[in-house]
């Protein structure tokens, strides 16, 4: 099992100072620290890749709307890490497929073939912001993914269909990888794992609310589906990745000293608060009724952060504890573990220590699993 880093570029409130200066200072700091952390992972060894999200208007949790810019910078300061778009928001209302083809190919060219390309349709709040119709967002995402892949292999591309009218044009530049970078799909449910398999795409499992037996069931369903794919790109990518919060410290006492549990608490509570305020109005009645009790309790802080660790949903502890938990993830059939290390109010020092410990001491042991 490979270990990748995943970044949302978090800037939790309260910020020092009034808006906009407080926000500006927090963002400058979190970007600077993220780049230092990622470059340390590249030099430490053991780490396989880095994934950057694309999110919009998600104050606190993610201030990263332009992953292509960050990955472009990293293409020049790293030499070992794969560079993952995790993900480009793909339905047509977010971005024209030609723009996705151009920016992903440019990073692949600059990095000499280190790009992994993920697709996704984001959340109801973001879809509403860009005018992406809920009822066609899945079809639009798959169609745009196929369009991008075709643009990379055809000398000239043109289209006239329900999603776009595009005159005959040559797309430049082409990706460094031939025919194109492997494609992945963000998945949050068992059904979407199966859909990714049918499309011939890798899975990016955004599954922090599920326990390991459920994740294993999802991955098993994915493996079954990808046995007979109907590919929407020109590269079948049979890989499953899941992500979670990860922090490794030299000792259990250091976990306490770094207030890791406070940062875990912030992450889950803030997610619930944000969902209730910004996502909830856009959800279906079925989604609201299913999620409301859990979200309300978490928004009030009525949960114990350590329970998530005990259930294997996050990975926090000393090296032996973290290794045991990562081995349990590998046993689900997971090919890559995406480690979200910059979360809550974790100090830069603590994150740097965790990256070095995991890369140098745990990754080599996991590589054979």
pLDDT of residue 280: 87
DSSP 280: G
Rounded CA-CA distance 109/111 in Å is 5
Other Cβ atoms less than 10 A from the Cβ of 369: the count is 13
DSSP code of residue 222: H
| Tokens matching residue 3 | 């270990």
Helix (H) or strand (E) holding 203: strand 202-205
Angle at 95 between CA 84 and CA 152, to 5 degrees: 60
Angle, alpha carbons 205-208-210 (nearest 5°): 90
Place of tokens 């025919």: 179
111 closest CA partner among 83, 85, 86, 87: 83
Measure the CA–CA gap between 21 and 290, rounded to whole angstroms: 39
Q: How far, in Å, CA of 89 to CA of 137, rounded?
A: 11
**How far is the C-alpha of 137 from the C-alpha of 364, rounded, in Å?**
40
Check residue 120 and give its pLDDT.
Answer: 98
pLDDT at 292: 75
Q: What is the pLDDT of residue 168?
A: 98
Contact 188, 207 (CB under 8 A): yes
**What does each C-alpha distance from 178 to 2, 72, 150, 226 come to in angstroms?**
23, 19, 12, 21
CA angle 10, 13, 14 (to 5 degrees): 145
The H or E element that residue 24 is part of is: helix 21-44
Mind listing the domains of the chain with CATH numbers? 2-268+312-366 (3.20.20.30)
| Mean pLDDT in order along the chain per 10 residues (369 residues) | 98 93 97 98 97 97 98 98 98 98 98 98 95 96 98 98 97 98 96 98 90 96 98 98 97 96 94 90 83 82 90 96 97 97 97 98 89
């Amino acid at each position: 099992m490979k270990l990748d880093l995943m970044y949302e570029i978090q800037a939790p409130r309260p910020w020092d100072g009034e808006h906009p200066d407080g926000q500006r200072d927090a963002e400058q700091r979190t970007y600077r620290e993220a780049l230092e952390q990622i470059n340390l992972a590249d030099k430490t060894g053991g780490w396989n890749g880095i994934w950057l999200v694309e999110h919009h208007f998600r104050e606190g949790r993610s201030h990263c709307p332009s992953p292509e810019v960050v990955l472009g910078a990293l293409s020049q300061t790293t030499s070992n890490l794969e560079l993952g778009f995790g993900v480009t928001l793909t339905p047509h209302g977010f971005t024209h497929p030609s723009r996705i083809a151009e920016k992903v190919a440019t990073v692949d060219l600059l990095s000499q073939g280190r790009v992994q390309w993920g697709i996704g349709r984001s959340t109801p709040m973001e879809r509403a912001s860009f005018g992406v119709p809920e009822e066609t967002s899945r079809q639009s995402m798959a169609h745009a993914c196929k369009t991008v892949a075709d643009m990379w292999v055809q000398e000239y591309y043109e289209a006239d269909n329900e999603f776009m009218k595009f005159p005959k044009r040559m797309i430049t530049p082409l990706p460094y990888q031939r025919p194109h970078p492997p494609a992945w799909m963000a998945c949050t449910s068992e059904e979407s794992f199966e859909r990714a398999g049918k499309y011939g795409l890798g899975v990016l499992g955004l599954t922090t609310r599920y326990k390991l037996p459920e994740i294993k069931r999802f991955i098993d369903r994915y493996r079954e589906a990808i046995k007979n794919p109907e590919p929407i790109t020109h590269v079948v990518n049979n890989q499953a990745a899941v992500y979670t919060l990860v922090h490794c410290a030299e000792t259990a006492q250091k976990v306490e000293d770094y207030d890791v549990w406070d940062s875990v608490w912030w992450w889950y509570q803030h997610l619930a608060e944000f969902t209730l305020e910004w996502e909830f109005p856009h959800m279906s009645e079925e989604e609201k009724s299913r999620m409301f009790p859990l979200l309300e309790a978490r928004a009030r802080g009525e949960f114990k952060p350590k329970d998530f660790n005990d259930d294997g949903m996050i990975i926090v502890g000393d090296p032996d504890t973290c290794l045991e938990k990562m081995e349990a993830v590998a046993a689900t059939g997971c090919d890559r573990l995406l480690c979200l290390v910059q979360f809550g109010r974790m100090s830069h020092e603590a994150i740097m220590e965790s990256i070095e410990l995991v890369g140098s001491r745990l990754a080599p042991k996991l590589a054979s699993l």
